[in-house]
């Protein structure tokens, strides 16, 4: 869930507007017209379409790709880890650093 929330923040920063203001993302209308449990999936799909269609042009492909990884919560293969929560959290933390934080740090260093 943290990945998704950070993806929304990155999307808003990249578009320089809130998701509620983004064209094609009608949050209230989507919630009102969706079956129980479907609204979050539909909103997520709309946010992904926004990132795919607009972020590359505005912020570059690398920023877009990191944002999409977050919005899609792409953790990838965590390898052989134990099923206890500490191992899972450590694996996810390392993956988050590799897939999100390090690429963003590289982008920040180029500015």
Query: Residues 64-84: pLDDT tens digits?
Result: 999 999 898 865 544 554 555
Query: In the chain, pLDDT over 90 holds for what percent of residues?
Result: 30
Average pLDDT over residues 9-36: 86
User: In angstroms, rounded to a whole number, what is the distance separating the alpha carbons of residues 20 and 26?
Assistant: 7
What is the number of domains present in the chain?
1
Residues 6+ apart with CB under 8 A from 55: 11, 14, 15, 63, 64, 67
Task: Give residue 4's Cα distance to chain centre.
Answer: 5
Domain hosting 39: range is 2-110
Q: Is 7 exposed, middle or buried (0-12, 13-18, 19+ CB in 10 A)?
A: buried
Look at residues 38, 41, 63, 51 and name the one whose alpha carbon lies nearest to residue 8.
51
């Amino acid at each position: 869930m943290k990945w998704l929330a950070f993806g929304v923040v990155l999307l808003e920063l990249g578009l320089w507007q809130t998701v509620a203001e983004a064209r094609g993302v009608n949050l209230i209308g989507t919630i009102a017209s969706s079956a129980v449990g479907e609204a979050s999936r539909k909103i997520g799909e709309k946010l992904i379409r926004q990132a795919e269609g607009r972020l590359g042009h505005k912020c570059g492909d690398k920023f877009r790709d990191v944002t999409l990884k977050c919005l899609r919560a792409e953790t990838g293969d965590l390898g052989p880890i134990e099923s206890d929560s500490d191992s899972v959290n450590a694996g996810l933390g390392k993956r988050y650093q590799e897939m999100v934080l390090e690429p963003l740090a590289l982008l920040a260093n180029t500015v």
